[in-house]
Structure formats: structure tokens, C-alpha cells
Structure 1
Amino acid sequence: MSENHKSVAFGQVVIGPPGSGKTTYCLGMQEFLSKLGRKVAVVNLDPANEGTPYSSAIDISELVTLADVMDALKLGPNGGLIYCMEYLEANIDWLQEKLSKFKDHYFLFDCPGQVELYTHQASLKNIFAQLSRWNFRLAAVHLVDSHYCTDPAKFISVLCTSLSTMLHVELPHVNVLSKMDLIEQFGRLAFNLDFYTEVMDLSYLLDHLAADPFFQHYRRLNEKLVEVIEDYSLVSFVPLNVQDKESMRRVMKAVDKANGYCFGDLEQRSLEAMMSAAVGADFQFTSTLAVQEKYVHTEDQTVEQEAMQL
């Protein structure tokens, strides 16, 4: 796959903090796209991944592992991950050779979870840039655990991290709120779901923070952070439940739009057949967009509950 090779490969680089569901997403998206007829190759670029649930077409553990680096160089997990990414960058020919064996495939790159790799350190950014020079058309899929929506302070922090990642990675970007099916375990949302996905007027979050004595001393700082996020106006989210086929379809559409992938009639027919089958016994999940009806605590609900108590 030389730089002068005319063929174009499409794919996703799946990034996000530890525990956000990157590996589960790769498994679910691999199965979803395979049923549509795409030839999918999952590339594990996380040297700390052991026993991945999906079948890796390429695994960085053949080149370097975090455990070996930590043992040999006496580094901690963060330093070890940075070293592993620098080692991969220095041995990028290894990755090029591996990728060249998979013609006409759609690639899912399962990346490490260390946030610093996407906000400060340049190795992964350089690797993505090299892939682009090899005619890979990539979109970054940044997963964020949806439970952060239930805490205004954490949500503002997530917005800052997402914005910083978008500016540093320099790829078409799709931010995803993962694990929507589990959000109920963390409490009700203060606003409708579209407030969080579209990142609307964040001053309402500031009002919620002002009610907390701890954050009263940091109101000016929070105001400035919110101003930065709103001035760039880049961050928005797509909700995701990997067990919901309609939710997976929306994420796929957003990613295909971001990296320019256009599928043909055969894949469209496969998608229509899959979505039609989703109403059968093998698929009993409600639409992710209906999550706000289930999890949002509105004033009307409060009045109704108080009336019932009376």
C-alpha cells in the first residue's frame, strides 16, 4: 500500500477514555457492517488489550505489548502506553505491511484509552496522518460514557476533552454517547436528551452548578470553559446503544457521512431487510431516541407525582 497507490480504503478510528466501550463498539459495529455485506477488518492498536471479543485482523501485540514494556523499562501504565505508541510510529512499516494484505476491506481501528494520547501526545496523530497519506479515508469515533450527562460538572469536562481531541487529532469527527441503555442506573437527566446531544445553551448547566456550594467558587472558571466550547461550536453527540439496531444505523450513517463512504444498492437492501427484521422476536429494544421519555425528570412528572402522593 504505497503512498502512490490509487485505491482508497475507508474506516474508523475508535477512541475515547478507558471504560467508554470502545472494544464493545468495535465488536458490535463489526457484526452490524458484516451483515450489510461489508468486508470488515478490526485492527487492535491497544497494546493493553488482551483477549478481545472480536477477531483481530491485525494486532499490535505482535509488535509490542504494554506488559513487556512496563517490565523491561520499569514504566507505569501511562508511560508504557506512550512508549508503545512511539514504538508503533517508529515502526510504521510494520503496520503498512499488515494493512496491505486486506484489500477492499472496511477498517475499524480499536485505539488505546489514555486521554493524553489524543490531547497532548503526537504519536497517534502522526499515525493517523500517515494512514491518510496511504489513501485511508478515516473518521474518528470518540466514545463518551453517557452517564456523564447526569452530572453537569462532568459533562462540561467531557465537552472540553472532546473539543481538545477534535482539534488535536485533525480527522472528521463523530462524538458518541455510549451505553445509553445503562444511563438509568445513574439517575435522571436534568434536561431533554437533545440538550446533551446538540450541546445547546450551556448556561443552564451553570445554573445547576451554582446550586452546589463547592462550585460556587469556580463559577467564573466554568463560565469561561462554557464560552470556549460554545465559541468553537464543534461538539455534538450521537446517542448509542450497541444492542439497538436503529441506534447503530444512525451512528453508521453519521460516520459514513464524515469519511465520505457511499454504499451501493445491495448494502441498502441489506440494511432495509435488517431494520425490518428488527421488529421480530430477536429484537426487543426501544429506540434510543425514546430514552428522554424514560429518563428525563420533567416538571410535569414532578407535579403528577406530588398529586398522586396527595
Structure 2
Amino acid sequence: MSRVGVLVMGPAGVGKSTFCNSIISHMQTIGRRAHIVNLDPAAEPNKYEFTVDIRDLISLDDVMEELDLGPNGALIYCFEYLMKNLDWLDEEIGDYNDEYLIFDCPGQIELYTHIPVLPNIVRHLQQQLNFSLCATYLMEAPFIIDSSKYFSGSLCAMSAMILLELPHINVLSKLDLIKDEYNRKKLKRFLNPDPMLLANEVEDVNPKFQKLTKSIANLVDDFGMVQFLPLEANNPDSIETILSYIDDVTQWAENQEQKEPNDQIDIEEM
């Protein structure tokens, strides 16, 4: 039977840990279980403890102190160390066959663009541990309602989509931070956006930047895959909708073992 895993990605501060905790909280209310696998060597647990924590193998603070590295260099060192010790990850993950494993990833995009760390971990989980995986990429709603920033975020999401080669869901987080009615209405245009229309709204006095924006818009439009699901962390309906998409792409229901009914009918009594 295939295991199910969800990679939670996005820039630092976008709400990845809150999203992870919200999914677990919702699953508990509907009788399902999930565990957080922390792949961020600088992260601290929030509402729920980490079931698997990379800091038990290597810590960002320790690397920075002992090797005199900055945060980004130390993070890359931590993941290179993890790649040399994937047997530790295999042992820690254990036999979670019927439960979701939620992989909380660091926010540094270079881990899957500049160096192939996350793509290699994804392949290991798929090929060696038989995981059915889904990638979720979070972006902040207050950030994306600026058309120019929308294109910047979309390129990051597309980069993750292409390099990880996984079923991919984009999520728009922190909707609750947008209070005024005007911006909430404006936000709806970004859930299923028209890139070319948004490109025409970007104001820039430099013709070269205008041309670049339209080229990026063409790229996003050609892919036709940069759409967003709205996330309100304290809204059960919002979490349930996103979880249903994750279930669909990971085929969670199809991968569950058929259980015998509690009350068997005696054939002789029929």
C-alpha cells in the first residue's frame, strides 16, 4: 500500500507551520491522523509536536556556530548532511501506512532551484519508501494582490512545480489579514487569474520592464496551472476544501485497505 505525504512549501513567514497544524487539527475532528515531519533545521514546534524532526539529526544553530557559516550556507550544509544520512530519515518515518505525513519544508527556494536537494528527497520518498506525494505551495494573500508581486510569486510556484515533478496545489494563505471589502473583492481575481489581463495593469515607466512582465505573463498563461485555493487557517470549511484536493491528487481513498464490516451476515441465515 502506498503511503501519503504532503510537502508544504513557500517563502519564510508565509504560514507553512500554521497550515500544517490546521490540517492536523481538522483531521483529528474527522477521525483521521497525521504527523508533521519537520525538514526545517531552524524551526520550532507550534501547536503540535514534530513526529520526525531533522534537528534530532542536525541543527542549524549548531552548524552556524561550529562551522562559522551564515544561515543560508548552514541550511545547505544541513541538507547535504541529511542526504548522506537518508537511512536516518527512513528509520524515523517508520511504518506510517494509514496516516498522512506532512513534510514542513524550509522557505529557501534555492533548495530546489540552485541545488537539487528537495527533488532528490522527493525521489527517495517515492522510489525507496513508496510514498504518494503532493506538493502544496503557499503564498500570502496580502502579497499577491499587487499584480507585479503576483508574477514574482507565480514564477517561484512554477519553479517548484517543474523541478519537483509532483502533483501540485497552490494555496493563498492569510486571507484573514485582508479586512477591507475592496481588497477582498480584488483578491478573487487572483484565485483563477488571467495573467495577460494582470500584466496590462502593471504600471512601470521602463519599457524594458513592461516587456519582461508581459513575457512572464505569457509564460504563466502558457502553463495555465498557476491557480490558487484560498486558505483561512481558522475556517474548517477552507481546510476541508484544500484537504479534499490533496486527497484527490494523492488518491488517498483508493490506497486505503478495505476493512471488513463489523457485523457479518451469516449466509446460512439468509
Q: Could you state the TM-score of these two structures normalised by the residue count of structure 2?
A: 0.88
Counterpart in the other structure of 1:247: 238
Cα distance in structure 2, aligned partners of 1:250 and 1:40? 17
2:215 is the counterpart of 1:219:
no
**Residue 208 (1) aligns with residue 195 (2):** no
After superposition, the C-alpha distances for 1:35-89 in whole angstroms (9 at most, x for unaligned) are: 2111211111110102433111111110001111111111111111111111111
CA contact (8 A) 1:148 1:155 kept: yes
Distance 1:229 1:103 in 2: 37
Indicate the residue corresponding to 1:75 in structure 2: 69
Within 5 Å, give how 1:109-258 maps onto structure 2: 109-133=103-127, 134-184=129-179, 188=183, 191=186, 193=188, 195-200=189-194, 202-210=195-203, 212-213=204-205, 216-258=207-249
The one-letter amino acid paired with 1:34 is: Q
TM-score by length of 1: 0.77
Structure 1 residues 188 and 103, CA gap change in structure 2 (3 angstroms) = closer
Work out whether residues 65 and 84 of structure 1, in 8 Å CA contact, stay in contact via their aligned partners in 2. Answer: yes
Cα deviation code 1:125-145 (max 9, x no counterpart):
111111111111110111111
CA–CA separation in structure 1 for the residues paired with 2:82 and 2:126: 16
1:214-256 deviation digits (Å, cap 9, x = unpaired) = x554111111111111112221110100111111111001111
For residues 246 and 190 of structure 1, the distance between their equivalents in structure 2, rounded to whole angstroms, comes to 19
**Partner in structure 2 of residue 25 of structure 1:** 19
Q: Distance in 2 between matches of 1:240 and 1:216?
A: 36
Q: Report the residue type matching 2:201 in the other structure.
A: H
Is the Cα–Cα contact under 8 Å of residues 177 and 239 in structure 1 kept in the other structure?
A: yes
Partner of 2:88: 94
**Secondary structure of 2:178's partner?**
helix
Residue of structure 2 in register with 1:39 after alignment = 33
Helix, strand or coil: the match of 2:179? helix
User: Within 1, Cα distance between the matches of 2:184 and 2:144?
Assistant: 7
| Cα root mean square deviation, aligned | 2.0
Return closer, same or farther for 1:31/1:189 CA change in 2, 3 Å cut-off.
Answer: closer
Change in CA separation of 1:11 and 1:51 when aligned onto 2, cut-off 3 Å: closer
Supply the distance in 1 between the matched residues of 2:186 and 2:99 (Cα, whole angstroms).
41
Question: C-alpha distance in 2, partners of 1:47/1:107?
Answer: 18
Question: What SS class does the counterpart of residue 107 from structure 1 fall into?
Answer: strand
Identical amino acids, percent of aligned pairs: 37
1:185 deviates by 6.9
Tell me the distance in 1 between the aligned counterparts of 2:50 and 2:21: 10
Alignment correspondent of 1:65: 59
Give yes or no for the alignment of 1:259 onto 2:245. Answer: no
Please state how far the C-alpha of 1:27 moved relative to its aligned partner.
Answer: 0.8
Secondary structure in structure 1 of the residue aligned to 2:183: coil
> What residue number does 2:48 align with?
54
* Offset, 1:187: 7.1
Q: 99-108 or 120-129: which moved more?
A: 99-108
Unaligned stretches of 5+ residues in structure 2: 257-270
Contact 1:150/1:189 (8 A) holds in 2: no
| Residue type of the alignment partner of 1:188 | N
Query: Mean alpha-carbon deviation: is it higher for 11-20 or for 97-106?
Result: 97-106
